[in-house]
Amino acid sequence: MSTDTAAADAAPDLATAAAAAAVLRRNDLGGWTKAAPALYPHQWSWDSAFIAVGWAHLDIGRAVRELRTLFAAQWATGMVPHIVFNPAVPAGGYFPDAARWECAALSPAAPPAPAATSGLCQPPVHAIAAHRIWQVAQNGSEADAATARASLDELYPRLLAWHRYLATARDPEGSGLVTIYHPWESGTDNSPRWDAAMAAVAVGDVPPYVRADLRHVADPSQRPTMEEYDRYLWLVELLKRAHYDDAAITRAHPFLVKDVLFSAVLVAANDALGEIAAVVGAADAERATIAGWAERGRRALAERWDPALGLCLDYDLRTGAPLATRTVAGFAPLVAGGLGADRLAALLASFDSPAFLGNPRLQWPLPPSTSPTDPGFRSRSYWRGPTWPFMTWLLWWALGRAGHPERAAALRRTGLAQLADGRFAEYYEPFTGEPLGSADQSWTAAVALDWLAGEDGGT
Please list the active-site residues.
Answer: 189, 426
Cβ-based nearer residue to ligand 9WN, 209 or 455: 209
Q: What letter represents residue 251's amino acid?
A: R
The helix/strand/coil state of 386 is coil
Cβ-based nearer residue to ligand 9WN, 93 or 140: 93
Region 42-81 residues binding ligand 9WN, contact defined as CB under 6 A: 44, 46-47
Binding region for ligand 9WN (CB under 6 A) out of 38-46, 151-159, 161-169, 329-337:
38-46
Question: Minimum distance between the CB of residue 106 and ligand 9WN, rounded to whole angstroms?
Answer: 19
Please select the residue that binds ligand 9WN; options are 13, 59, 154, 189, rule is CB under 6 A: 189
Q: How big is the CA angle at 266 (ends 265 and 270), to the nearest 5 degrees? A: 120
451 binds ligand 9WN (CB under 6 A): no
35 binds ligand 9WN (CB under 6 A): yes
Contact in structure between 203 and 230 (CB atoms under 8 Å): yes
187 binds ligand 9WN (CB under 6 A): yes
Burial of 104 (0-12, 13-18, 19+ CB in 10 A): middle
Cβ-based nearer residue to ligand 9WN, 13 or 189: 189
Contact in structure between 155 and 161 (CB atoms under 8 Å): no
Region 195-234 residues binding ligand 9WN, contact defined as CB under 6 A: 213
Residue closest to ligand 9WN, measured at CB: 187
Question: Minimum distance between the CB of residue 44 and ligand 9WN, rounded to whole angstroms?
Answer: 4
Burial of 458 (0-12, 13-18, 19+ CB in 10 A): middle
Contact in structure between 351 and 371 (CB atoms under 8 Å): no
290 binds ligand 9WN (CB under 6 A): no
Cβ-based nearer residue to ligand 9WN, 236 or 398: 236
Cβ-based nearer residue to ligand 9WN, 40 or 428: 40
Cβ-based nearer residue to ligand 9WN, 191 or 270: 191
Binding residues for ligand 9WN, rule CB under 6 A, total 10
Question: Minimum distance between the CB of residue 88 and ligand 9WN, rounded to whole angstroms?
Answer: 18
Contact in structure between 57 and 109 (CB atoms under 8 Å): no
Nearest to 53 by CA among 141, 151, 159, 125: 125
Nearest to 164 by CA among 127, 128, 129: 127
Positions of E strands within 182-240? none
- Round to whole Å and give the CA distance between 442 and 419: 13
Question: Minimum distance between the CB of residue 129 and ligand 9WN, rounded to whole angstroms?
Answer: 14
Question: Minimum distance between the CB of residue 311 and ligand 9WN, rounded to whole angstroms?
Answer: 20
Please select the residue that binds ligand 9WN; options are 32, 184, 351, 393, rule is CB under 6 A: 184
What is the sign, positive or negative, of the torsion defined by CA atoms of 34, 35, 40, 43?
Answer: negative
236's CB contacts (< 8 A; 6+ apart) are 96, 100, 101, 119, 182
Site residues for ligand 9WN per CB under 6 A: 35, 40, 44, 46-47, 82, 184, 187, 189, 213
